[in-house]
Amino acid sequence: MAQGRHTLMDPPIEELLDKVDSKFTLVALGSARARQVNSYYNSLGEGLGKVVPPQVTSVSGKPVSIAFEEIAAGKATFTRTDPEEEAALAAAMADAEESGLLGEAAAEDAEVIEALGVGDEDPTAS
Protein backbone atom coordinates (compact mmCIF):
# COMPACT_ATOMS: atom_id res chain seq x y z
CA MET A 1 0.00 0.00 0.00
CA ALA A 2 1.33 3.41 -0.88
CA GLN A 3 2.15 5.85 1.89
CA GLY A 4 1.36 9.55 1.95
CA ARG A 5 4.01 12.08 1.07
CA HIS A 6 6.00 13.60 3.93
CA THR A 7 7.67 16.39 1.99
CA LEU A 8 7.14 18.32 -1.20
CA MET A 9 9.79 16.17 -2.89
CA ASP A 10 9.30 12.53 -2.02
CA PRO A 11 11.61 10.67 -2.35
CA PRO A 12 14.11 13.33 -1.27
CA ILE A 13 16.63 14.39 -3.89
CA GLU A 14 19.51 13.41 -1.58
CA GLU A 15 18.21 9.83 -1.46
CA LEU A 16 18.01 9.74 -5.25
CA LEU A 17 21.52 11.14 -5.69
CA ASP A 18 22.86 8.37 -3.42
CA LYS A 19 21.61 5.80 -5.97
CA VAL A 20 23.46 7.28 -8.97
CA ASP A 21 26.89 8.74 -9.66
CA SER A 22 25.76 12.24 -10.75
CA LYS A 23 22.70 14.41 -11.11
CA PHE A 24 23.01 14.12 -14.89
CA THR A 25 22.74 10.34 -14.63
CA LEU A 26 19.70 10.79 -12.38
CA VAL A 27 18.00 12.96 -15.00
CA ALA A 28 18.83 10.57 -17.85
CA LEU A 29 17.75 7.48 -15.91
CA GLY A 30 14.58 9.14 -14.61
CA SER A 31 13.55 10.44 -18.02
CA ALA A 32 14.24 7.13 -19.77
CA ARG A 33 12.22 5.18 -17.21
CA ALA A 34 9.42 7.79 -17.25
CA ARG A 35 9.14 7.36 -21.03
CA GLN A 36 8.87 3.59 -20.53
CA VAL A 37 6.16 4.00 -17.88
CA ASN A 38 4.27 6.43 -20.11
CA SER A 39 4.57 4.01 -23.02
CA TYR A 40 3.23 1.22 -20.81
CA TYR A 41 0.15 3.25 -19.88
CA ASN A 42 -0.41 4.24 -23.52
CA SER A 43 -0.19 0.62 -24.70
CA LEU A 44 -2.65 -0.82 -22.16
CA GLY A 45 -5.33 -2.85 -23.86
CA GLU A 46 -3.22 -3.57 -26.92
CA GLY A 47 -1.90 -6.81 -25.46
CA LEU A 48 1.67 -6.20 -26.57
CA GLY A 49 3.36 -6.75 -23.20
CA LYS A 50 6.68 -5.36 -24.46
CA VAL A 51 7.01 -2.54 -21.93
CA VAL A 52 7.73 -3.16 -18.26
CA PRO A 53 4.92 -1.89 -15.98
CA PRO A 54 5.65 0.30 -12.96
CA GLN A 55 7.63 -1.64 -10.34
CA VAL A 56 6.43 0.30 -7.27
CA THR A 57 3.03 1.22 -5.88
CA SER A 58 2.75 4.96 -6.13
CA VAL A 59 0.27 7.54 -4.90
CA SER A 60 1.22 9.61 -7.94
CA GLY A 61 0.07 8.80 -11.44
CA LYS A 62 2.77 10.87 -13.06
CA PRO A 63 5.46 8.91 -14.95
CA VAL A 64 8.39 11.01 -13.65
CA SER A 65 7.29 10.59 -10.03
CA ILE A 66 6.90 6.85 -10.53
CA ALA A 67 10.36 6.70 -12.14
CA PHE A 68 11.96 8.55 -9.22
CA GLU A 69 10.21 6.25 -6.74
CA GLU A 70 11.57 3.24 -8.66
CA ILE A 71 15.08 4.70 -8.53
CA ALA A 72 14.78 5.29 -4.78
CA ALA A 73 13.56 1.71 -4.29
CA GLY A 74 16.44 0.33 -6.36
CA LYS A 75 14.14 -1.07 -9.05
CA ALA A 76 15.53 1.14 -11.85
CA THR A 77 19.32 1.07 -12.11
CA PHE A 78 22.01 1.96 -14.61
CA THR A 79 25.33 0.49 -15.71
CA ARG A 80 28.25 2.57 -16.88
CA THR A 81 29.98 1.10 -19.94
CA ASP A 82 33.75 0.84 -20.12
CA PRO A 83 35.21 2.98 -22.95
CA GLU A 84 37.94 0.39 -23.53
CA GLU A 85 35.32 -2.33 -24.12
CA GLU A 86 33.49 -0.08 -26.57
CA ALA A 87 36.74 0.63 -28.46
CA ALA A 88 37.60 -3.09 -28.58
CA LEU A 89 34.14 -3.94 -29.90
CA ALA A 90 34.34 -1.20 -32.54
CA ALA A 91 37.79 -2.45 -33.61
CA ALA A 92 36.52 -6.03 -33.84
CA MET A 93 33.56 -4.89 -35.96
CA ALA A 94 35.91 -2.94 -38.26
CA ASP A 95 38.24 -5.95 -38.61
CA ALA A 96 35.33 -8.25 -39.41
CA GLU A 97 34.02 -5.81 -42.00
CA GLU A 98 37.44 -5.51 -43.65
CA SER A 99 37.90 -9.27 -43.82
CA GLY A 100 34.47 -9.68 -45.42
CA LEU A 101 32.98 -11.64 -42.55
CA LEU A 102 30.10 -9.23 -42.31
CA GLY A 103 27.50 -9.31 -45.05
CA GLU A 104 25.45 -6.34 -46.13
CA ALA A 105 22.74 -7.02 -43.53
CA ALA A 106 25.29 -7.35 -40.74
CA ALA A 107 26.96 -4.10 -41.82
CA GLU A 108 23.60 -2.33 -41.67
CA ASP A 109 23.01 -3.81 -38.19
CA ALA A 110 26.44 -2.56 -37.12
CA GLU A 111 25.54 0.95 -38.28
CA VAL A 112 22.30 0.82 -36.29
CA ILE A 113 24.14 -0.44 -33.19
CA GLU A 114 26.73 2.32 -33.57
CA ALA A 115 24.02 4.97 -33.98
CA LEU A 116 22.24 3.75 -30.84
CA GLY A 117 25.42 3.68 -28.78
CA VAL A 118 27.28 0.44 -28.26
CA GLY A 119 26.74 -1.03 -24.82
CA ASP A 120 23.63 0.95 -23.86
CA GLU A 121 21.76 -0.93 -21.18
CA ASP A 122 18.11 -1.02 -20.18
CA PRO A 123 17.72 1.34 -17.22
CA THR A 124 15.39 -1.11 -15.53
CA ALA A 125 17.81 -4.03 -15.72
CA SER A 126 19.01 -5.28 -12.37
Higher pLDDT, 124 or 69: 69
Residue 44 confidence (pLDDT): 78
Q: What distance in Å separates the CA atoms of residue 6 and residue 9, rounded to the nearest whole number?
A: 8
Structure letter (DSSP) for residue 123? T
Residue 29 confidence (pLDDT) above 90: yes
Residue 99 confidence (pLDDT): 78
Residue 27 confidence (pLDDT) above 90: yes
Q: What distance in Å separates the CA atoms of residue 10 and residue 68, rounded to the nearest whole number?
A: 9
Nearest to 75 by CA among 7, 122, 35: 122
Residue 80 confidence (pLDDT) above 70: yes
Model confidence pLDDT, tens digit, residues 96-107 = 877 776 555 555
* Secondary-structure percent of the chain, ordered helix, strand, coil, rounded to 5: 55, 0, 45
Average pLDDT over residues 3-28: 82
Residue 31 confidence (pLDDT): 94
Higher pLDDT, 47 or 80: 80
Q: Please state, rounded to an integer, the average pLDDT across all residues of the chain.
A: 78
Residue 68 confidence (pLDDT): 92
Q: What distance in Å separates the CA atoms of residue 20 and residue 67, rounded to the nearest whole number?
A: 13
Average pLDDT over residues 55-70: 88
- Is the alpha carbon torsion for 5, 9, 13, 16 positive or negative? positive
